[in-house]
Structure 1
């Protein structure tokens, strides 16, 4: 007797899409099934499900996986390491184990049958209709047409990184700049997880440290796993300049960056909180005063940003408009340390496919202003 799984997630599956498991059992008198989810500290009670009239069970892992992968929200809680150019990220990749036990009724007694243990892999991405799941574990958590070739723009002097979906314990990650022929590698991977690769820490980068110098053009970086080719990164490097630097959680489960133009339009909006009576008790000849005064104001600051993008950059920046977490870097100058602050974003996205370059306008709203109030 056995459990026969007929539908299940495959590959490293997007956590924010439905992930159905369908199965049947060969037991006679089948009555129910229990799904035990690991870790039991988070899911102490099994999920009890029942078959349809054809004896088929169906179970959706989506909410379980989401709850585990969004426990800390979508903001990036990792600080740039002082040493090295890589960092393990433990909330991007998930290996989820479940156990299925079937039950049947015999002579009025319910008895367990067989137990099947299954393990599935997830990342924090979401797929749209027509999208594909790529089997390259060294794919970047960013937009791609095939899971091998990636096009990113990097603004020198500002923090910039990308994530590799899953790197196995013991792997050696190798980078080769095809333009220059220079290569370098990262070793010492001690666990299987996502790896973040830092190209720029805001005060130093691959070029200034001579780790893997990049030219002010499109650099073709080949990425290898233990000397086996995995991924192409076409990295467009932009010379240091001032501007508004945004970072956001993208639909592929990683973080994207963009430097908007230095010149912007700012709008400061204020609103009175409440008026209260002052009771001056003055006659006309005694100098009338306003009988009310405000207890203070609340204020907000909005900034309209502009930029131009080519067709490859357009694909990257689209995810900004649906991101659950957008942050602004407080430094508007390269090589000056800043901090990330959470902001709200407003605007629409219009692209004309006949144009080589398109102008994009977005409005960001900064956190509410602190004001003096009664």
Structure 2
């Protein structure tokens, strides 16, 4: 007696896509299967399944895995800088364990334990799942080669999908042939690598000096080349800086132009009665007074982006979490504030540069109210 898996997911799988497993039971007269998801404190009740007419059981892990990821939200909880240039971070990947038991009318059969790995991302139709564990959690055509733009003087980092505890990560610049110091993983998790902490960066700290142009970089894990990325460094300038959770399970950054249009809208909350009764000779007053107003402010921003940056910005428009840096000037320690955005992402493949426009909706203004 055994449970036979016919179809399942593999690799580190995007959590926000369907993740079906299909299996059959060799138990004579099998009528149902029970799946217990772990940890049991999160999933106290098992799932009962019944096969189709061909005896095949189907179960989708998507909603269960989403529920585990969603409890942490999408905003970045690692808002302080480590001493060094990297740290391991949780909540971007997880392993889902489950136990499958088949039953017939008389007894239970075998129990099969399975484990699947997921990362906090989504893939569109036609997009492949990459099997490079040290891939950068950003858009790529193959999971090995990446193109990022870095704006000097603003917080900037990137994440590697999964690094094993005690792994040694080293970065090499093909421009200068220089290697960075080792970055040692202190746990098996995603690893964030910082490039700019506002008050210092790779260049000023001499960790790995970057040129004010295109830097061709390579990532080595335990001495093995795993990932390439072209880092376009933009020298310090003013602008509106955004950070968002992207479709690939990491955080992205982009600096929009310094000049923007701002508009504010205010409307009355309502009125209340004065509860005063005056004759004409006593001086009439309005019978009501205003409670106060509520207001909102929007920023209309723009940028001109190259082909790689346009692709990078695509996930901004669908992101569940967007934040704006409080300073429009580089090298100023600010804070992230949560905003929403609206606009359309359109571009022409014939153009080397495309204009990207969007509206940033700031949090509701705090006004004086009764």
- TM-score of the aligned structures, taking structure 2 as reference length: 0.97
Matched, 1:231 2:227: yes
- Out of 315, 319, 329, which is 1:319 matched to? 315
> What's the secondary structure of 1:331's corresponding residue?
coil
Residue 349 (structure 1) aligned to one of 329, 339, 345: 345
1:288 positional shift: 5.4
Deviations 1:198-242 (A, max 9, x none): 101111111111101101011011001111110001000000011
Residue matched to 1:27: 27
1:171-221 alpha-carbon deviations (Å, 9 max, x no partner): 111100111111124343232110011101111111111101101011011
Q: 1:191, 1:45 → 2: CA distance?
A: 31
Aligned twin of 2:265: 269
Structure 2: tracts of 5 or more residues without a match = none
Q: How does 1:134-149 map to 2 (within 5 A)?
A: 134-149=130-145
Correspondence 1:257 to 2:253? yes
Any residues of structure 2 matched to 1:12-161 within 5 Å, and which?
A: 12-105=12-105, 109=106, 111-161=107-157
Distance 1:186 1:44, change over 3 A: farther
Question: Is the CA contact 2:239–2:258 (under 8 Å) kept in the aligned structure 1?
Answer: yes
Number of positions where the alignment pairs a residue of Structure 1 with one of Structure 2: 369
Q: Distance in 1 between matches of 2:183 and 2:307?
A: 35
Deviates more, 1:183-192 or 1:140-149: 183-192
- Aligned residue for 1:349, secondary structure, equals coil
Q: What SS is found at the alignment partner of 1:295?
A: strand
The Cα RMSD (Å) is 1.4
Residue 58 of structure 1 aligns to a residue in which SS?
strand
Q: Which runs of 5+ in 1 are unaligned?
A: none
What are the superposed Cα offsets for residues 33-55 of structure 1, whole Å, 9 maximum, x if unpaired? 11121112211222111111211
CA–CA distance in 2 between the matches of 1:266 and 1:280?
Answer: 44
Asked if the contact 1:169/1:190 (under 8 Å) is kept, the reply is yes
**What is the TM-score with the length of structure 1 in the denominator?**
0.96
* 8 Å contact from structure 2 (residues 88, 186) kept in 1: no
CA distance in 2, matches of 1:309, 1:243: 14
CA contact (8 A) 1:343 1:367 kept: yes
Q: Distance in 2 between matches of 1:185 and 1:26?
A: 55
Measured after TM superposition, the shift of residue 81 of structure 1 is 2.4
The answer to whether the Cα contact below 8 Å between 2:12 and 2:119 also exists between their aligned partners in 1 is yes
Query: Offset of 1:3 from its aligned partner?
Result: 0.9
Alignment equivalent of 2:189, drawn from 188, 193, 212: 193
| CA distance in 2: counterparts of 1:201 and 1:282, whole angstroms | 68
From 200, 206, 216, give the equivalent of 1:210: 206
